Amino acid sequence: MHSSTVATPEPAVAQPAPVRRLLSLDALRGFDMFWIMGGEEVIHVLAKTTGWAWALVMADQLTHAQWNGFRAYDCIFPLFLFLAGVSTPYSLGSRLDKGDSRSKLARKVIIRGLILVLLGIIYNNGLFEKPIAEMRFGSVLARIGLGGMFAQLIYLYIRNERTRYGIFAGILLGYWALLLLVPVPGFGAGNLSMEGSLVGYVDRLFMPGRLHKVIHDPEGLLSTLPAICTGLLGIFAGTALRYAGLSDGKKLQRLVVGGVACLALGWLWNLVFPVNKNLWTSSFVLVAGGWSLLMLSLFYWIIDIQNLRRWTFFFIVIGMNSILIYLANRVIDFEYTAHFLFSGILHFFSEPIQLVGGTLAFLAVKWLFLYFLYTKKVFLRV
């Protein structure tokens, strides 16, 4: 008689539930980049050639406010930084769940931020084309790189969400205090003009090279501080969307309520601290953030809740390579290609149709370039 032993099965190790990819995030990023890569030119040309009332209204909204104030076009840049924040709990959060060390992830975050700063310098100045005194070091990419980098480092090392909210409020209030209380030689404290603001003064003192507006740079040093809050606001939204304990409806509700609250607080703050993109004021952070939250909630509801996705492909192709197409404007002559391919056909039409058609052709060439890269699975990841 022999005995047999039955092996006791090892207990299954609990694995984190797979996180659903947010198609709405990719689509909204592409929608945002669409206006930068030429979508706004279509509206401007339509307004100029037709005089249609809706086109004139949209064309006006697709210009920046001169100083104080807010237009739709002022939201495009902060929306991009906000969306980088939204993706953070998915990218870094999933890596933390898998056991990656914070220091390893922090190194990647810092390297990415510095690469974007470098790409911004190249975008502004080319490669070795100008002496340092004539170079512009502030850039859209640098603002995204540094604002996103510091927001992500806060996400990595401050795990308590209430503390993150406290940091968010502290930065916005601290920035307000700096601009109102710190005197600028020749202007005193609380001057929020281009010439007399603390933001421009710090840029003139410490920014190397030239400033975009000679005495002020809209992507300068001090205004990077509140830009961190734009990235943090995206992280707050991404954290809510990634949280498995909330239903889709509750997530949508949080986004909408957060958006409305930010808009209300931002415009209330505007009474004493004007909404101003050039200074990236605290009130601007809230107003731009409010609209960003509402746009994300709309895309999330349509795409991820209602599952209406077919229309998103056009924007996803753009969103998957948004930084690449931004940089490509400097090295590829899309306008020449569009003229070469379509000018012969457009020649047979009236001048207004030629102008509109030429702008659409320019946009189409860019999109087809991105589509080719999409089909080949070529994506620029920074």
Does the pLDDT value for residue 4 go beyond 80? no
pLDDT tens-digit map of 249-267: 999 999 999 999 999 999 9
pLDDT of residue 349: 81
Closest-CA residue to 293 (of 324, 265, 326): 265
Does the pLDDT value for residue 104 go beyond 80? yes
Dihedral sign of CA atoms 244, 249, 252, 258 in order: negative
pLDDT of residue 1: 42
User: Is 71 in a helix, a strand, or coil?
Assistant: coil
207 and 221 in contact (C-beta within 8 Å)?
yes
Does the pLDDT value for residue 292 go beyond 80? yes
pLDDT of residue 18: 46
State the distance between the two ends of the chain, measured CA to CA, in whole angstroms. 68
Q: Structure tokens of 43?
A: 């509206």
| DSSP code for 30 | H
Mean pLDDT, the chain, integer? 91
pTM equals: 0.91
CA distance 53 to 31: 23
pLDDT tens-digit map of 107-144: 999 999 999 999 999 999 988 778 888 899 999 999 99
Closest-CA residue to 238 (of 256, 249, 251): 251
Closest-CA residue to 292 (of 314, 266, 315): 266
pLDDT tens-digit map of 316-355: 999 999 999 999 988 888 988 988 888 888 777 888 888 8
pLDDT of residue 20: 59
Give the position of tokens 């999330």. Answer: 300
Q: In angstroms, what is the C-alpha Rg of the chain?
A: 23
pLDDT of residue 65: 92
CA distance 123 to 314: 26
Strand partners, 209: 136
pLDDT tens-digit map of 198-211: 999 999 999 999 99
Strand partners, 184: 188
Closest-CA residue to 255 (of 290, 230, 303, 283): 290
Q: What percent of the chain has pLDDT over 70?
A: 95
Q: Structure tokens of 316?
A: 């996803």
